[in-house]
Amino acid sequence: MSALSLPSFLRRLWALDTFPYSLRIFIALSTSMAVCWVQNEMALVMPLFLGTIACALAETDDNWRGRLRALLVTLLCFALAAFAVQTLFPHPWAFFVSMVAATFCLTMLGAISPRYQAIAYGTLILSIYTTIGMDQRGGSGQVLWLEPVLLLAGAAWYGLLSVLWSALFRHQPVQQNLAVLFRALGGYLRLKATLFEPVRGLDQEVKRLALAQRNGDVVKALNTAKESILSRMENMETGPSQRMQFYLRLYFIAQDVHERASSSHSPYGELTDTFFHSDVLFRCQRLLRLQGADCIGMAQSILLRQPIDLGPASGQALLDLQAALAYLEAQQNSQWQRLLGSLSALARNLGTLEARLQSASRAEALDEKQDLTLLDRSPQSLREAVERVRLQLAPSMPLFRHAVRLSVALAVGYGLLHWVHARQGYWILLTTLFVCQQSFGATRKRMVQRVTGTILGLLAGWALFRLFPSLLLQSMFAVVAGVVFFSNRTRRYALATGAMTLVVLLCFNQIGDGYDLIVPRIVDTVLGSLIAGLAVFLILPDWQGRRMHEVAGRTMAACAKYLRVVMAQYRSGEGGKKDDLAYRTARRNAHNADAALSTALTSMFQEPGFVQAQGDGGLRFLLLSHTLLNYLSALGAHREALSGEGDDAPTQQAAAHVAEVLEALAGSLARREAVPPAHAAEPLLIAALKDAPAGASPALRLVQSQLALIGELLTPLRAQAGRLLKQEQSEAAAAPA
């Protein structure tokens, strides 16, 4: 590698989202290994490593103050759990009862916030790590409290590294999350461009379903970026710093781009048929593809902290689109007039989207009049935290079911290891904890990955024992394997499991015979995986197919709220568009509900066949609800002042009717009641929107056009909701509990 390319290589390496995390892990593990090696105390390596791993698994993104507070809470929970295990370990029945109770309570703490969920999960992991260390040391241990102290030392060392890192590089997670967000937007825009393929006979439904699923990735990235920015803006009396202002502006740009990218102004098949002999759809497609490429380029610039330069290609594509549209309008073809209005709105939307992307390259300050408030979804008081847990304490709630399921699974694993006197039997509990997920599909996938990764790790360990008998080399391999685990645990779990298996083998070989661990480890992994799989299948199974009505109902309710907030801005008389917190919250809730419906359907198709009977109905409902959200996004994207027409009676009456129908659908789905029939005046309202007087302003005409498109969805939405409820009721009656 040349000297000129080395800085670029290092910059790109530093920009990788897993590199800083992996580097922290490397520093923590290598220093622990080095100290133990120099002091000739290799027996201490395993608990130090396990404490480091547990603390890293409990880590969440935050500023250094928040991370320090979280570390203190984590160490307190770790200490209580470790010393409780140390005290109760010699008393099986007391240990059994406390383990079941602690598992249930810690799992329910996840209802408070993701931070507490991570801490509770890490505490459970450390508890089992303590039992593994106690078991290897023969029960009570040779030195009093040795195991808990070593585990806490490893956790504290990594925690301090994490806090220091967060203080030194506080903006790095924001950069990485924003880069992920713009990369997701780029993929969404490129996929959206395929809808404008000027070819007849294409299956648009397949593409729109793929787009609905891809929308979930964008929504997830938006939520992650928002939380990352929010955590670094607290207690800033003087306002956000210049760099945080830049990142906040990028986040608001991404929000606006997402709303405009998810907009639909007309059925795509109808556009294809009408303008088949024109190149206007090709122009739309090319512009969207270039804008998608611009988003991906912005992601790279954000990661590398380079100036954003989008180039002129997308701007020229916009000019070409506008020229093609002007040519069509000059033809004055009466058969095109209605769809030409939709095309004009589409071109304006893409033009504004282009302007928003281009604004990212300019050094602009945040608008002082803009509402910069971000919604903080974390509990603001102890009362609110307790209330969140209380609301989840019901058999119908997924978290409660998971808590019961996991508690019983660990109890069965503990009884099994005592019954068969399994060697290294506490690995059964650890496997069960890692494999048992909230959904059946995720658990089944994790089972396969866990067993596969364990076998690969054992084979790799056996090979390293034979090829590299030097204990010093093996200790280095153990550190590298630990880094591999953390850099791959969220994306390639099988590889991560193999790496962690290798860590255990190599560390165990420092104080004993690593070969003795190979057979017990694979047996315990298989047993723990089977227990987790059976628990998810038999104990309060949370089949997504039986909850589809609830998720669909929340989607309709969120869309109704979004529509009401949008129409309120059209009527406000304050110039139309106002991206305040109330509007952004309603928009985000609608997209979150849409993403949740898509995720539920994906999970359902990973479940057994007897709960997939309504799969087709669920997909069709998703297609309709996502199309509804697209039409609502178009309303939200334009939000122009209606020049005194905001109180247009037919328009407001139609908007209120649509919102009421969506709310009624949401109620019927949530309560599993019959879907109410259409009002007799509904067809007349929709017809009035289509046949509005020609003198209406373009802004009012767009509102009427979008409301007409939404109104035409109401009948198929009612029909599909009815089928969904009917299928769920028949399936619940026929299927096993």
Q: Which phi and psi (to 5°) does residue 576 adopt?
A: 85, -115
Domain boundary residue, one of 512, 542, 572:
542
Same domain? For 537 and 581 the reply is: no
pLDDT above 50: residue 481: yes
Q: What is the pLDDT of residue 141?
A: 45
Average pLDDT over residues 234-261: 79
Same domain? For 268 and 353 the reply is: yes
- With bands split at pLDDT 50, 70 and 90, how would you rate the model's confidence at 1? very low
Under 8 Å between Cβ of 143 and 99? no
Contacts of 282 (CB under 8 A, 6+ apart): 196, 198
Q: What is the dihedral of CA 268, 273, 276, 280, to 10 degrees?
A: -30
Chain segment 539-564, per-residue pLDDT in tens: 988 888 778 888 999 999 999 999 99
Q: What is the pLDDT of residue 614?
A: 62
Average pLDDT over residues 522-550: 89
Same domain? For 166 and 176 the reply is: no
Under 8 Å between Cβ of 134 and 147? yes
Which has more confidence, 191 or 269? 191
Same domain? For 632 and 726 the reply is: yes
Same domain? For 28 and 17 the reply is: yes
What would the two tokens of residue 610 be? 């007897």
Q: How many whole angstroms separate alpha carbon 396 and alpha carbon 204?
A: 37
Which has more confidence, 371 or 197? 197
Residue 317 falls inside a structural domain:
yes
- Nearest CA to 252 out of 588, 560, 486 is that of 588
Residue 501 falls inside a structural domain:
yes
Lowest mean pLDDT among 57-66, 584-593, 597-606, 723-732: 723-732
**Strand (E) or helix (H) holding 175:** helix 172-193
- The three-state secondary structure class of 605 is coil
Q: What is the pLDDT of residue 378?
A: 81
Same domain? For 409 and 431 the reply is: yes
Same domain? For 156 and 284 the reply is: no
Residue 377 falls inside a structural domain:
no
Lowest mean pLDDT among 99-103, 370-374, 566-570: 370-374
Which has more confidence, 603 or 407? 407
Q: Which phi and psi (to 5°) does residue 52 adopt?
A: -60, -45
Residue 384 falls inside a structural domain:
no
Q: What is the pLDDT of residue 240?
A: 66
Residue 278 falls inside a structural domain:
yes
Under 8 Å between Cβ of 669 and 663? no
Show the 3-state SS of 42-108: HHHHHHHHHHHHHHHHCCCCCCHHHHHHHHHHHHHHHHHHHHHHHHHCCCHHHHHHHHHHHHHHHHH
Buried b (16+ CB within 10 A) or exposed e, 60-79: bbbbbebbbebbeebbebbb
Chain segment 57-104, per-residue pLDDT in tens: 998 888 888 889 989 999 999 999 999 998 888 888 999 999 999 999
Average pLDDT over residues 501-523: 82
Same domain? For 659 and 693 the reply is: yes
pLDDT > 90 fraction of the chain, expressed in percent and rounded: 31
Q: What is the pLDDT of residue 234?
A: 59
Residue 371 falls inside a structural domain:
no
Q: How many whole angstroms separate alpha carbon 163 and alpha carbon 51?
A: 16
Average pLDDT over residues 338-363: 84
Domain boundary residue, one of 170, 189, 208:
170
Chain segment 150-159, per-residue pLDDT in tens: 999 999 999 9
- Look at the chain and report how many structural domains it folds into: 4
Q: How many whole angstroms separate alpha carbon 191 and alpha carbon 204?
A: 12
Average pLDDT over residues 108-130: 91
- With bands split at pLDDT 50, 70 and 90, how would you rate the model's confidence at 3? very low
**Where do the H-state alpha helices sit in 468-547?**
471-488, 493-509, 518-538
Q: How many whole angstroms separate alpha carbon 648 and alpha carbon 655?
A: 11
pLDDT above 80: residue 370: no
Same domain? For 563 and 519 the reply is: no
Average pLDDT over residues 660-673: 89
Q: What is the pLDDT of residue 678?
A: 81
Q: What is the pLDDT of residue 424?
A: 73
Kindly report the average pLDDT of the chain as a whole number.
Answer: 84
Q: How many whole angstroms separate alpha carbon 284 and alpha carbon 287?
A: 5
Chain segment 192-221, per-residue pLDDT in tens: 998 888 777 666 778 888 888 899 999 999
Instruction: Classify the phi-psi angles of 393: left when phi > 0, otherwise alpha if psi is within -120 to 50, otherwise beta.
Output: beta
Domain boundary residue, one of 510, 542, 574:
542
pLDDT above 60: residue 575: no
Residue carrying structure tokens 């787009």? 211
Q: What is the pLDDT of residue 672?
A: 86
- The three-state secondary structure class of 613 is coil
Supply the range of the domain harboring residue 281.
Answer: 172-359
Same domain? For 457 and 581 the reply is: no
Q: Residue 640: beta bridge partners?
A: 576
- Nearest CA to 633 out of 182, 180, 215 is that of 215
Residue 379 falls inside a structural domain:
no
- The three-state secondary structure class of 297 is helix
Q: Residue 576: beta bridge partners?
A: 640
Lowest mean pLDDT among 14-28, 238-252, 401-415, 428-442: 238-252
Under 8 Å between Cβ of 32 and 157? yes
Lowest mean pLDDT among 197-211, 374-388, 413-427: 197-211
Q: How many whole angstroms separate alpha carbon 221 and alpha carbon 446?
A: 23
- With bands split at pLDDT 50, 70 and 90, how would you rate the model's confidence at 475? confident
Sign of torsion over alpha carbons 510, 511, 514, 518? negative
Under 8 Å between Cβ of 474 and 42? no
What would the two tokens of residue 29 be? 């593990």
Same domain? For 498 and 558 the reply is: no
Residue 385 falls inside a structural domain:
no
pLDDT above 90: residue 124: yes
Same domain? For 561 and 633 the reply is: yes
Q: What is the pLDDT of residue 737?
A: 46
Residue 136: count of CB within 10 angstroms of its CB: 18
Q: How many whole angstroms separate alpha carbon 207 and alpha carbon 116?
A: 38
- With bands split at pLDDT 50, 70 and 90, how would you rate the model's confidence at 140? very low
What is the C-alpha end-to-end distance of the chain, expressed in Å? 62
Q: What is the pLDDT of residue 239?
A: 59
Please compute, for residue 330, the number of CA atoms within 13 A of its CA located in the half-sphere on the CB side: 6
- With bands split at pLDDT 50, 70 and 90, how would you rate the model's confidence at 4? very low
Angle at 182 between CA 179 and CA 186, to 5 degrees: 135
Residue 327: count of CB within 10 angstroms of its CB: 12
- With bands split at pLDDT 50, 70 and 90, how would you rate the model's confidence at 535? very high
- With bands split at pLDDT 50, 70 and 90, how would you rate the model's confidence at 369? low
pLDDT > 70 fraction of the chain, expressed in percent and rounded: 90
Q: Which phi and psi (to 5°) does residue 476 adopt?
A: -65, -40
